Each structure stands twice: as structure tokens, then as C-alpha cells.
Structure 1
Amino acid sequence: MGSKFKVTSLKADTKYGIVASDLENLMDKGCQKLQLSREGCRVCLFEDGTEVDAEYFSRLKDNCKLIILEQGQKWNGEIRYYLKEILHEYDNSSDELITTAKSMLSEEIRPKKRKLLQYFVEDSTENITAENRDDDQKWFEGLNPRFKTKSDYMSFSCGRRMRNYLAEGAFDEDRCTFIHSINPYGSRENRIVFSTWNLDHGIEKKRTIIPTIVKTVKQQKIDNRKVKRFYSLLFTLANLKLVHIVCHKKTEHKLSCDPPKTCMGKKRKRNSLS
């Protein structure tokens, strides 16, 4: 007999109920109801825009909301659609929209929705597009008057930090034996060499960390302590060093994911970038 669905299109003002036994049947009935040309059409979930194929169709629940798109049309999902409509509606009265969002923050709402509202309010009240000092004086408070634009200050700040890059040496050394340092502003050659520097994992990502994660998951022995350990090995300075290409040893490191007993586990002073 088939399942029940609610279908619509970008042109339709409402959703229509139809019963379909398979995807082709749905396309035929849906296009007829929505007065669309069948050629080039495709079906997507109204909720998030996921495209529905024949296999996925069999897993759809009764009364699932679908949208039939004509060739070249896109659908990013229900939430983005309604958000776009709201922003369009309040295009000339953004203050009213911000006030409404702030009032909703005082109500009992789910944490995820609260966070989204907070992001919206913060982004809406910040003066992101302003570039000059006169247009956003609060942003420039405490800065030298010689900085006239945000770009001027950010260029200076980034440049000052970059002039102090120091290499940390090979994975099995406490410091760079070559005393590598570089100023990418110094010369064209230095700028090119600087682009080759990278972060090196002491305990190797591909050879050791990833296989250990896979093994742990398969054995169902994962816990918060191990998650934190793996995160530390993959993404933090506990297992990452800034390495000059000369010091980057490509040979197997032969270090395990067990609590560190090598030089990588020693507490050492990190090079500052400030």
C-alpha cells in the first residue's frame, strides 16, 4: 500500500499528503500534485536537505516531510530556511530582532538554543564591519594612537609574534641542537624556509596514535581518561614540537601511547611566541 508523506516544493505555499510505495512512485505523485516537470527533479528531507535515494526511501517514517527540488535548485534545511525568512522580515528593524532575542534568553530554554541565541546577540551587537578608529573607538581603547585601522594593528601584532619563532628540535631532543631560529621578514629565502616549518608529533599520529585509538574502540575499553590522553597526543604541545625541516626526522619514532617515559614526557620550557 505504501507510506504516507508530506511533500512540498520551493514554489508551493503548503505541504501535500500523498501515499507512495517507492521513490519513483513518490516522484510521480509528488510532481503531479505540485505541478512540477518530472525531469531532473530530486527528493530531499525537508528538515536538513539530505537527498533521498531508493535505499534511503525504505527507511523513511510515516508522515516524513519531504521537498521535491527541480533541476538546479538547492535546499539547506528547514532551520536555515526559516532563519533566512526571519532575517529578511527584520531586515530594516534589526534592533527589534536583537531585543526579542535578549528577552528569550531570560526564559527557560534548552542549553543549545540558549547558546545559539547568545551567539546571535553577540555577533549582532559587535561592530565587525568597522575598520577605522573613528568608526569603532571602543575597539582601539588602550592602543597607540598611530594605529588608524584594525588592519594596521593586527598586521603589527602578528608581525611581532612571528619575528620570535624558535625551533624546538627533533622529536627525541630537549632542544634544537642547530639552534634554529628564523625571521620570515629578513629575506626571501627566510620567508620560503619559514613556510616549510611544521608541527611534528613525537608519538606518531599515523603509525601509533590512530591505530591505538582504533584498537581501543574495537575492544570497547574507551573512557574519559583515554579520550583526554588521545586528545593531548593529537592536538596539544604535550606531543607536538615546532620543527625546522632539517630537524624533522622521517624515520619511525618507536614511541608508544603509554604514559610518557621518554624526553617527550619531560617537563620543559616551551618557546614563547610573544
Structure 2
Amino acid sequence: MFGLFGKNKPLKVRDLTGHKKYGVAAKDLNELLKKGCKLLQLPLSGAYVCLYEDGVIVTEKFFPTLPDNTELVLLSREQSWGGVVCDIGQLLNTDRHGDGLVKAAKALLGDEKSAKRRKILSDLLRTLEDRSELESREEDEDWFTGVDTRFKTKSAYMKSNCESRIRGYMKEVDDASKNIQKAKVREEFLKTSKSLVEMLKTARYNGSYFDRTEKEPNRLCTREGWFTCQGAFDQKVCQSLHSINPYGSRESRIIFSTWNLDHRIEKKRTVVPALLEALQNHKSTNINLNYFYQLLFTRENLKLVHIVCHKKGAHNLLCDDRKIFRTANNEDKAKPKVKKKRLI
């Protein structure tokens, strides 16, 4: 505590707007006020300083306890400071807009030391940098960093991203054939697998789920590109209200890759084993293929969830035995393409 011994203490002083900021060395509060007012061109009479962090007023007794390089706000008699939240509020209430607002937010973030406030400012900056209204590579080159050059629009890439996920599910189904010992069952399973692939091709691998240019019943996002977490498999809604717009920035696009299309009735633990069991004593033509297609690849059984809402433990949900085989009630139904019914 240098002030106790009359030594100069290095501090940082700024005005209310944050446009001006100076390093000041002072042995006591009185010297700090004199130097600060001169640098910031404020009247000395009635001037006072408070902590930038939380707005606490610095007194003569408090001054010696200040750590070196503490950031302070110098105020005139009629001014007040409520802490960093006040600073963010002032930032948003200024006449800045566009790139000017982004630059101001970056300046605040660059000077901030508190991890909590850096998080708040980072989230704010991500919102300010949102460029979701832009669609083409030419308009928003940064968004396409690391993306194959064949993709010219954001929607095209997002659609392909969804298709890749669905293709991955199909590959897992195909891989199950490697463990089938009976040749006859394997043959029927391969026929079923081939039929599922044809259905997926017809539906274009349901890539429309991530494509904001698709019609509303076919996409999982808003026209602007906002996705909302649908909650864990055993919940009707997301308790944390997670949302994200991967169309807004490259960072959001990357973060969205951690979101999951989660199978409520589990693919590996339940759906595929149920299909294999059904084929043990039945031909593929007896199987209600539409039902398994819906469970494996459509929103009838898929929920889009934030990684935090993705419960990896056993779901303990079973297939409906009444729908596994073709019956008079289901064999005439059209093959599913993109189902319009939403999961809740």
C-alpha cells in the first residue's frame, strides 16, 4: 500500500464517457484529483473519483488500499457512475451505430480485466457483429472462413451440414449389418437399408431442416436463421431457453456444430436393434419402413438440442410394437419426405 508511505501510486483515470483515459501517479486522493481534473479538463471543485468496476466512491481512507493500476472514473459534482453495467448502457445509448458501435465495444473489452464482465462484453460484441442478413460469400467472407469454396451461400452450406448429419445416421444403420451372423437376415437387412437410402435421396437427406430459405414447415429455424433448443428428450421445452443464429457470424456457425439432432427413441440402443429383431423372422417387405424412416431421420423422433440439453444416458423409450410391421392401417401411407409435425 504505497499511499501509506507517501509514495506515488500508479492508477488509471478516465472520464464518464470513456473517450479519454490517462495513467496518473499520485501519493494521495487530493493529488489524484488535481492531476486528473487537469488532464480530463474537469472543474476541481466538487470533483470525485469512484471505482470503474462497481461505482464505489474512493475516499481518503480508501485510497491507500487501491491496488496499482486500478481503473477509476473521475466525475464532476453533477455526474454519477454505477459501474461497468452503466458503461455498457451508455455505450448502447450513444449515437454510434454499425462499425462505430462495434469498435467502441471492442475498446471496452480490450481494457476489461474482470472475467465476468469480459463474458458480458463478449456476448454483447457477438450480438453487435451479427451479420445474419447477409447471405453470399461475397457479402460476408469472414463467415465462410474454412468452408469449402463450392458453397456460395450460407444456406447452401447449412443445408449440406444437415445432410451430412443425416448421412452419418444412415452409415450407422449400414454398419449394423457387419454384426449380423445369419446370411438370410443380413440379406433382408441390406434390402431394408437400400430402401431407406432411396427414401432419403427423395427427401434430399432432410437438409431443409437447417436451410432458412425453405418453407416454415420444413425448416427448424426462423427466416432470419435463429434456432431454438427444443429441450432434452424427456422435456417439452428447453428450460434454459437456448437459442443461436449460426448465420450471424463464423463463431456462431462453429458453436452451432456442437448442437445435436438427438433421437428421442435412441438410434443405436433401440431403433436399429428393433429393426434387426423384426427381420429375424420376417422379410423386409413385411416391415413398416415408413415408421423406421421416421424414427431414424425425421423430426418425428429428432429434437434439436444445445449440447447442455443433450442427455447421453439411456432414454428408456421403446418403439411402438403396433407400428413395426405393415398393416392395413399403415401400408397405404405415403412414404415420408419432410414431416410437418413438430416434436414438443
Query: Which category describes the TM-score, using the shorter chain as reference length?
Result: 0.3 to 0.5
The structure with the larger Rg is 2
TM-score by length of 2: 0.29
